[in-house]
Structure 1
Amino acid sequence: MSTTSDTVNFTFSDTIAGRVTGFDRDARVVSVITPAGTEFRISLDGGPSAELLHNLGEPYQDASGHIDDMLQEGTFVLAYGVFYPTEERLRFEAKRLIFVGRQGDDFRFEEAGWWVRQIKEIAAFYRKAQFGDGPVDFGQYRTEIRLGGEKTASHVQETDTISRLVYGMASAFLLTGEDEYLEVAERGTEYLREHMRFVDTDENVVYWYHGLSIDGDIEKKLFTSEFSDDYDALPAYEQIYALAGPVQTYRITGDPRIRNDADATLRLFDRFYLDPEHGGYFSHIDPILLSPHHESLGPNKARKNWNSVGDHAPAYLINLYLATGEKRYADMLEYTFDTIVERFPDPKNSPFVQERFHQDWSHDTTHGWQQNRAVVGHNLKIAWNLMRMHSLRPKAEYLDMAASIGETMPDVGADRQRGGWYDVVERIKHDGEEHFRFAWHDRKAWWQQEQAILAYLILHGITGREDFRDEARDAQSFYNAFFLDHDEGAVYFNTLASGLPYLLGVERLKGSHSMSMYHSAELCYLAAVYNNLLVGGKAMDFWFKPDPSDLDGRLLRVAPDLLPPGSVRIESVEIEGEPHTDFDAGALTVTLPETSGRVKVRVRLAPRARTEVAG
């Protein structure tokens, strides 16, 4: 066979993900169609192993003896194998098959308890990694955690990573009611308040240190960011994510001190980050003058970005609204999403949103690492959060932009052969090329899979569109098949395009500047909410532990997320294990009894049928 540089004449391993369209038992060939519409013929001659998708904490479930029975038409399967070149075409021989369910329309991650069990396992991993089997002492917290949970020699405690761990533990308590997770969340919140919080009495604001450098018994507070992108500045995203964990804890406890910290940080945003002339929030301010215009900021002078404008909502602001029902938080959310709808789309130039801006909202396409590149997950994150906001204050432009992103992204940001979602790509396609080029690699990050799953779950749950349901299922299949670390615990940072874990450098770590239980827990919490309450018609339990005297009118708000009005109701309530009937099922509020001290509350929420909601 003659060859050229364009001819494939070597073997290579890869993954095919799709739905079965046919199975020739005699020839041992199964036909699979991918989401892109490409049909592959997969040979089973090599005697592949097969397994049923299993959750963290579950044993491996061998299905090798059931392959013929499970390859039903419509079954979703992920096949890892080897491509062999032949005279006519590439031949794919499967070596490993992963079935996501036992039959055609069965997906294990849609089981009522799947995501609850997963967050419980993740929480147990991080609890042991950070504090062992002993007491919860955040003085022992380390930002960097190795693959198996061991700590590195690094002694810098980053404020945001502690906050992200706190968020994860609070979310685990919300779903499981296990007090040990709430203990970690509350002790972490106290540690943040005592060590990382600066109360500026002159300006009547709170801002948060970047972190602590610990050398023995000596703590050195790191006021400004230590990262090259943000060095010697106060980036908005660090202030934003400092609130993520405490505010999620506030949903459970109603601790007024957390509310006061959040309000004081909001005053910081409104006084020093907000642009009163052109709108939106600046990405950085100078640490001395608290100005976004100082020359010391260099390339970050008078800039705005996705994080400074959009990350308020998912990190803390939606949760702050859920806990309080305060109009001013809803107003800030509306302002944020109106800004996104007005400023971020760039349909004349790219299917991806624009993420970086100058003060006047002109596009900044030369900034640092981003240049004119798209973070795929940020586009999906916008769609997900627009749908949440649409349930609070419905607007056609919210729904239209979210649906447009949902329709557009699969062809430009997803892997339509293997499954999963890419990381960073060029926003502009090169002439004559079919694909947007990758910025650095074609690996897939855990947090970008989260954004895809949540975006398509809520898009399907609210619109009822089948194409969005399929995207949600495809994304959940890839994530649960390849990102769960069944050997060491928790989830991997990155995988190769094929789904194999990528375990080099910082991407080998389970704790780092980027990873600290936040996204994996947020995914478990909201995937459980959307799969059960919004899509699957299944009831769920949620847990709270407030002091009634801390709540205005002893009123506990228990809405799990921003969902369509009337779509969820309270089915039952227990306080300290005893039935409690003083609640408003439709308003999702519980009036707690007059009592001294904190009470443990279990609330069962159930979805209403679409016809009941419409009626």
Structure 2
Amino acid sequence: MKYFSQSMTLLGKVTDVNVKEACFTLRCRSGDSFLVRTSSQTTFNVLRNLDELSRDRVPAPPDFNSGGGISELVRKYVHSDELVIIYGIYQAHQGKEQFQASTVTLPHYEKGRYIFEESHWWLTQISRLADEWLDDLFGDRRTYEMDDFAEFYQTNLNIFGLPMQDDNVQECATLSRLIYGLSSAYLLTGNERYLCAAKAGVRYQRYTFRTLSHDGQSCFWSFGKRKIRDRGAKIAVASENPDDRDTIPLYEQIYALAGLAQYYRITQDWEVLEDIQRTVRTFQRFYLDSPKNGFSGLEGYFSHIDYATLRPDTEALGDNRSRKNWNSIGDHIPAYLVNLILALDPLPRGGKGWEEIGEFLNTCRTILDTTSRLILQKFPDPNPEVPFVNERFHADWTPDQNWRWQQNRAVVGHNLKIAWNLTRVASYYRVLAEEDRDRGRDTQAQQHELYATDFLNLAKKLGDAMAIHGLDQVRGGCFDAVEREPQPNVPIEFTWGNTKDFWQQEQGILAYLILFGSTQEYRYLELAREMEIFWNACFLDHDNRGIFFRVNDNGHPIIEGAYGQKGGHSVSGYHVFELNYLAHIYTRSFVRPVLDQDEDGANFCLFFCPDAKTGRATLNVLPDFYAPGAIEIAGISVNGVPRASFSEDNFQIDLEEEELGSPIVVEFRPKLLKKV
């Protein structure tokens, strides 16, 4: 090769430093080593968050000479056995290679303490994101009503957060995603601005997009509302998304619940729960493959129904007819099931509908059990040489490898999403097994333990496989769509390009963090940290306090067309807020305990505000599905007053009638203190 040059990002661990020559060796996850040279034009920095504050507090070494040139900077910033991400120019000419660094970015300013594992990092990020979303949509308002969403909410926003020209659509599912984000921001920070906005958004969603059945027992959510110039507005019932046009796709109905479920965790609002129940009845009546519904009874949920016949087998559905896919099976779990079960299990006491809620909880548990088992049994490829799951199926569960753009292709983020969520479900099943044992149901306990083991084993298998076949082992991050069966001698065959999307990075970070928490296997923590470095170095839009949807292989943003939008059908306040919310919780629960000597150094808080009209006498506060004994309650305060006594291991806290409507802060203490 002659005269070859290419801009390139490298992420890896420093293995050797030559201060005199101002160079060092970087070893990437792939095993490749690069000799990195620096010059007077090389800049050194520490990861920045969306608050734009410099966190460069790297201590100067002994006898440091600030005017000593590049060698002194290398001595200060570059140390063996530390992760760094570098951008520079790779050159090759007649058998000789060189990598010249332009920027060297550290993920820490103190050895072994990654900046995104500090207590404030994800709290700051979610706050800046929530503030900017609300500022972009509503300007200087700090309180919100349903009418504000009616007038100002818009799905499609450009990169600056401004409305797109001639586009006045309000999509229900993306509004729900924003409500999820605002609710999550309140759970982490207790900022009443976010809860006020979430409440107004919930009311607007329920009053605008909900269509009740004749008996009021079930409901559908319309795709959206489109404002018509000088003529009011038009409700669009069927989806306008190209993959689902003129159908009612299940995944849009599922994500219509994402915001409602997270908001319900905070408020226990009975009317919100009623709409969630109605929607789940719709799933069970119209989408479930059950003999009761006139279908084959092979389990699972059909992905689409026809808006005219409300059936999944109508010819008008085309290639979405009688189909099942990842979204119709797996998306139930993260979108609403986990948060709903956390809010309802144990059953709340007080208020109305106790018996009905018990039946509904059993329905939710059944859906969780069915969808998790189907992922375990139907999704893995029978060929052990194929590391990716199948994502689309016919009604009889034979893989559909001819559907439009998907064909026989894998979405890396879906495989990571399965790893993340099956690990969560495994923890819940271990809790169920413990409850069974306490009640003398040994057979059921054994069954739950077996499923928990199977779920975790598949999660580990996928996490390990994606580390090889889905992650960029040189630059960091994970790729998008790849061929499930690549050409011979090609480890990864890209479908359209080696780009990386924001939501798939979220799945990887959360998958590897929770796998580390569940297994204490250090390789998962290393993978999580590398993905967190790439996320914070490449996906944060510092100019506009947002995130980039897509970056290229080197982590540089792609902002052409829809990829430059801050808001759209595929991007709203969901994935990035979910990342911030759970990365904070997982880091405090699983990572900080192995670093801190202080027993309370990893503690974290969640904020709740149960609605006064609910009449509830209890509140469930467990942050996520945890294995038994993983965390405990360290403190509770109501309306700013600490409780003198409480049960550390009881995550259903009692409420007095006068405490309803008051902010409740629950402090948690991790119990996983094993050092690694």
Q: What range is the shorter-chain TM-score in?
A: over 0.9
- 1:123 is aligned with what amino acid? A
Report if the CA contact (8 A) 1:254-1:551 is conserved.
no
Report if the CA contact (8 A) 1:41-1:92 is conserved.
yes
The reply on whether 1:399 has 2:399 as its aligned counterpart is no
The reply on whether 1:457 has 2:470 as its aligned counterpart is no
What SS is found at the alignment partner of 1:449? helix
The reply on whether 1:374 has 2:386 as its aligned counterpart is no
Q: Which residue does the alignment assign to 1:430? A: 487
The separation in 2 between residues aligned to 1:50 and 1:347, in whole angstroms, is: 48
For residues 107 and 610 of structure 1, do their structure 2 counterparts lie closer, same or farther at Cα, with a shift above 3 Å needed? Answer: closer
Q: Which residue does the alignment assign to 1:4? A: none
Report if the CA contact (8 A) 1:582-1:591 is conserved.
no
The reply on whether 1:192 has 2:249 as its aligned counterpart is no
The separation in 2 between residues aligned to 1:438 and 1:446, in whole angstroms, is: 17
The separation in 1 between residues aligned to 2:672 and 2:392, in whole angstroms, is: 42
Q: Name which of structure 1's ranges 580-589 and 413-422 shifts more when overlaid on structure 2.
A: 580-589
Among candidates 175, 184, 195, match of residue 182 of structure 1: 195
Q: Name which of structure 1's ranges 397-406 and 52-61 shifts more when overlaid on structure 2.
A: 52-61
Q: Which residue does the alignment assign to 1:15? A: 9
The separation in 1 between residues aligned to 2:128 and 2:74, in whole angstroms, is: 29
Q: Which residue does the alignment assign to 1:48? A: 42
Please give the TM-score of this superposition, normalised by the length of structure 1: 0.95
CA-to-partner distance for each residue in 1:483-532, whole Å, 9 max, x for gaps? Answer: 11111112111111101111111111111111112001000000001000
Among candidates 291, 300, 305, match of residue 285 of structure 1: 305
The separation in 1 between residues aligned to 2:218 and 2:404, in whole angstroms, is: 30
Report how many residues are paired: 604
Q: Which residue does the alignment assign to 2:448? A: none
Among candidates 158, 161, 166, match of residue 146 of structure 1: 158
The reply on whether 1:237 has 2:251 as its aligned counterpart is yes
Report if the CA contact (8 A) 1:175-1:542 is conserved.
yes
What SS is found at the alignment partner of 2:460? helix
Among candidates 537, 555, 565, match of residue 481 of structure 1: 537
The separation in 2 between residues aligned to 1:118 and 1:53, in whole angstroms, is: 13
Report if the CA contact (8 A) 1:158-1:210 is conserved.
yes
Superposed, 1:580-595 pairs within 5 Å as: 580-581=643-644, 583-595=646-658
- 1:169 is aligned with what amino acid? L
Sequence identity of aligned pairs in percent?
38
Report if the CA contact (8 A) 1:163-1:244 is conserved.
yes
What SS is found at the alignment partner of 1:85? strand
- 2:88 is aligned with what amino acid? G
The reply on whether 1:34 has 2:28 as its aligned counterpart is yes
For residues 610 and 96 of structure 1, do their structure 2 counterparts lie closer, same or farther at Cα, with a shift above 3 Å needed? Answer: closer
Report if the CA contact (8 A) 1:74-1:104 is conserved.
no
CA-to-partner distance for each residue in 1:335-386, whole Å, 9 max, x for gaps? Answer: 1101100000005052100000000000100101111110000000000000
The separation in 1 between residues aligned to 2:605 and 2:505, in whole angstroms, is: 26
Superposed, 1:243-262 pairs within 5 Å as: 243-262=257-276
Q: Which residue does the alignment assign to 1:225? A: 239
Q: Which residue does the alignment assign to 2:355? A: none
- 1:338 is aligned with what amino acid? R
For residues 596 and 71 of structure 1, do their structure 2 counterparts lie closer, same or farther at Cα, with a shift above 3 Å needed? Answer: closer
What SS is found at the alignment partner of 1:142? coil
Q: Which residue does the alignment assign to 1:562? A: 625
- 1:240 is aligned with what amino acid? I
- 1:151 is aligned with what amino acid? P
Q: Report how far residue 548 of structure 1 moved.
A: 5.5
Give unpaired runs (5+ residues) of structure 2: 59-69, 291-296, 346-360, 431-451, 594-601
Give unpaired runs (5+ residues) of structure 1: 1-6
Among candidates 489, 509, 514, match of residue 565 of structure 2: 509
Q: Report how far residue 108 of structure 1 moved.
A: 0.4
The separation in 2 between residues aligned to 1:510 and 1:89, in whole angstroms, is: 43
For residues 591 and 337 of structure 1, do their structure 2 counterparts lie closer, same or farther at Cα, with a shift above 3 Å needed? Answer: same
The separation in 2 between residues aligned to 1:14 and 1:103, in whole angstroms, is: 26
Report if the CA contact (8 A) 1:334-1:393 is conserved.
no
Report if the CA contact (8 A) 2:2-2:93 is conserved.
no
The separation in 2 between residues aligned to 1:124 and 1:143, in whole angstroms, is: 17
Q: Report how far residue 564 of structure 1 moved.
A: 1.1
What SS is found at the alignment partner of 1:78? strand
The separation in 2 between residues aligned to 1:262 and 1:607, in whole angstroms, is: 31
For residues 438 and 203 of structure 1, do their structure 2 counterparts lie closer, same or farther at Cα, with a shift above 3 Å needed? Answer: farther
Q: Report how far residue 328 of structure 1 moved.
A: 3.4
Q: Report how far residue 66 of structure 1 moved.
A: 4.2
Q: Which residue does the alignment assign to 1:84? A: 91
Q: Report how far residue 101 of structure 1 moved.
A: 0.5
- 1:406 is aligned with what amino acid? G
The separation in 1 between residues aligned to 2:265 and 2:174, in whole angstroms, is: 20
The reply on whether 1:263 has 2:270 as its aligned counterpart is no
The separation in 2 between residues aligned to 1:548 and 1:521, in whole angstroms, is: 27
Q: Which residue does the alignment assign to 1:342? A: 377
The separation in 2 between residues aligned to 1:281 and 1:37, in whole angstroms, is: 43
What SS is found at the alignment partner of 1:513? coil
The reply on whether 1:129 has 2:136 as its aligned counterpart is yes
CA-to-partner distance for each residue in 1:68-125, whole Å, 9 max, x for gaps? Answer: 2221111111110001223333211000111001143221000012111110000011
The separation in 2 between residues aligned to 1:583 and 1:386, in whole angstroms, is: 32
The separation in 2 between residues aligned to 1:387 and 1:461, in whole angstroms, is: 10
Q: Report how far residue 581 of structure 1 moved.
A: 4.2
Q: Which residue does the alignment assign to 2:331? A: 311
The reply on whether 1:529 has 2:585 as its aligned counterpart is yes
What SS is found at the alignment partner of 1:467? helix
Q: Report how far residue 8 of structure 1 moved.
A: 5.2
Q: Report how far residue 397 of structure 1 moved.
A: 0.9
Q: Report how far residue 551 of structure 1 moved.
A: 5.4
- 1:479 is aligned with what amino acid? W
Please give the TM-score of this superposition, normalised by the length of structure 2: 0.87
What SS is found at the alignment partner of 1:315? helix
The separation in 1 between residues aligned to 2:240 and 2:52, in whole angstroms, is: 40
Q: Name which of structure 1's ranges 163-172 and 44-53 shifts more when overlaid on structure 2.
A: 44-53
Q: Report how far residue 204 of structure 1 moved.
A: 2.6
Q: Which residue does the alignment assign to 1:542? A: 606
CA-to-partner distance for each residue in 1:12-33, whole Å, 9 max, x for gaps? Answer: 1011110000101112211011
Q: Report how far residue 279 of structure 1 moved.
A: 0.8
Among candidates 501, 519, 534, match of residue 575 of structure 2: 519
